[in-house]
Amino acid sequence: MVNLSSLWENERENIFLAIDKVAKSGSWILGNSLNNFESALSDFFKLKFCVGCASGLDAIEISLKALNLMPGDRVITTPLTAFATTLAIVKAGGVPVFVDVDECGLLDLDLVTDLIESDGSIKYLVPVHLFGFAMDLKRLAYLRDTFKISIVEDCAQSVGSRSSGILTGTVGQLSATSFYPTKNLGAFGDGGAILTNDVSLMRSCQQIRDYGQSAKYVHDVIGMNSRLDDIQAEILNSVMLPKLFKDNRIRSKIASQYLDGIINPDIKIIRQPINSDSSWHLFPVRINGDRDKFRNYMNELKIGTAVHYPTLCNQQRASEFFKYEISPKGLKCAEKISASVVSIPLHPYLTENDVARVIEACNTWRPE
């Protein structure tokens, strides 16, 4: 599914150089390497500001706090996502309101709009550009402007994804991303970042990630320790970010080969929405029949698969321990996708031969 050892073999010299540079500089936390990476990543997103932090989870939590989320405030989100999305809302004091997804697996914006129109008390929305598929940014902007909704875009899987040519992350007042090593832009450990055009929100996020400090030993708000290490920032800036365009192009080429090559009535490719130009973080398909049988079959052919995600956030055991709501329309589509979805391998180190093998394996699979 992922190939971190090839990444290491290809980049180890550059990574050692990056580590050496930071170590020698003597500023290992909130130093120049972090500043430089933050400015490079905000350039990438075509936004003014970036605030590095410890993880994607923290990036969402800090964003919601910066947007003044109060305990008990309701936050519309999707049940079909990494549990971290839900956890961040809960940790920030919010009550997740789960709304169903569409056939692409993304939060259904018709249902979201109905809910916001009928319930004026909901003021927060955390949409997720799942799989790398870009949600409709024009519709998100409409919700933001018409109903004064505070939006934190979860871009953990969508670095480089576009909707009608516009990059994801540019519509939310704040956007969050993750540098978990398997993400399109991964670090060599944990990391995350918040992006924004708003200078005062940027300052709030900077304070919250650093014990709530506005200046040294001046604590104005209840903060946390969630900084992005300079070593990770330097590796991201000098090794990983410069190859992101190329890596995303390779992902996109492989995705086209899958789209053209996989023809099997028992394997239904989940297509991205019209107007979406995916980062191809994942390539999800839906399996007719027994998903585990398909995964075992692939495994025997030495082809890795994964499931994003086998359990909806509201069905996790941990959900007994916090308040949440489910929209009156239910979660039928999310349940259907969660029960049948499988991700097949998609990463920049797949060879032509690997891709051909995956296509061949998919095309010869039969459910019996």
Cβ 255 vs Cβ 242: under 8 Å? no
Range 39-58, binding ligand PLP (CB under 6 A): 55-57
Cβ 346 vs Cβ 254: under 8 Å? yes
Cβ 281 vs Cβ 167: under 8 Å? no
**What single DSSP character describes residue 311?**
S
Q: Of 85 and 196, which CB lies nearer to ligand PLP in the complex structure?
A: 85
* Contact between 228 and ligand PLP per CB under 6 A: no
List 38, 61, 153, 154, residue binding ligand PLP (CB under 6 A)? 154
* Contact between 298 and ligand PLP per CB under 6 A: no
- Region of 78-86, 116-124, 194-202, 204-212 interacting with ligand PLP (CB under 6 A): 78-86
- Region of 81-89, 137-145, 315-323, 353-361 interacting with ligand PLP (CB under 6 A): 81-89
As measured in angstroms, the least distance from the Cβ of 194 to ligand PLP is 12
Cβ 170 vs Cβ 17: under 8 Å? no
Cα–Cα distance for residue pair 91/95, rounded to 1 Å = 10
Q: Of 62 and 149, which CB lies nearer to ligand PLP in the complex structure?
A: 62
* Contact between 96 and ligand PLP per CB under 6 A: no
Q: Of 49 and 309, which CB lies nearer to ligand PLP in the complex structure?
A: 309
List 178, 204, 305, 340, residue binding ligand PLP (CB under 6 A)? 178
As measured in angstroms, the least distance from the Cβ of 342 to ligand PLP is 17
Strands 325-326 and 95-98: parallel
**What single DSSP character describes residue 155?**
-
DSSP string, 315-351: GSGGGGGS--EE-TT--HHHHHHHHHEEEEP--TT--
Residue nearest ligand PLP, Cβ-based: 56
Burial tier of 78 (Cβ tally within 10 Å: 0-12, 13-18, 19+): buried
Residue 353, C-beta contacts closer than 8 angstroms, at least 6 positions apart: none
The residue behind tokens 């690997």 is 354
The residue type found at 225 is: N
Q: Of 192 and 223, which CB lies nearer to ligand PLP in the complex structure?
A: 192
Residue 112-151 contact track with ligand PLP, rule CB under 6 A, x = bound: ----------------x-----------------------
The residue behind tokens 């997804």 is 101
Cα–Cα distance for residue pair 137/106, rounded to 1 Å = 12
* Contact between 101 and ligand PLP per CB under 6 A: no
* Contact between 156 and ligand PLP per CB under 6 A: yes
Q: Of 187 and 362, which CB lies nearer to ligand PLP in the complex structure?
A: 187
Cα–Cα distance for residue pair 12/244, rounded to 1 Å = 17
* Contact between 186 and ligand PLP per CB under 6 A: no
* Contact between 157 and ligand PLP per CB under 6 A: yes
Q: Of 98 and 297, which CB lies nearer to ligand PLP in the complex structure?
A: 98
Phi, psi (deg, nearest 5) at residue 280: 50, 50
As measured in angstroms, the least distance from the Cβ of 157 to ligand PLP is 5
Longest alpha-carbon distance in the chain: 66
Torsion of Cα atoms, 143 then 146 then 151 then 155, to 10°: 40
List 33, 63, 78, 85, residue binding ligand PLP (CB under 6 A)? 85
* Contact between 87 and ligand PLP per CB under 6 A: no
Count of residues touching ligand PLP (by CB under 6 A): 15
- 275 alpha-carbon distance from chain centroid: 19
* Contact between 180 and ligand PLP per CB under 6 A: yes
As measured in angstroms, the least distance from the Cβ of 175 to ligand PLP is 12
CA atoms within 13 A on the CB side of 13: 1
As measured in angstroms, the least distance from the Cβ of 124 to ligand PLP is 16
Give the residues lining the site for ligand PLP (CB under 6 A): 55-57, 81-82, 84-85, 128, 154, 156-157, 178, 180, 190, 192
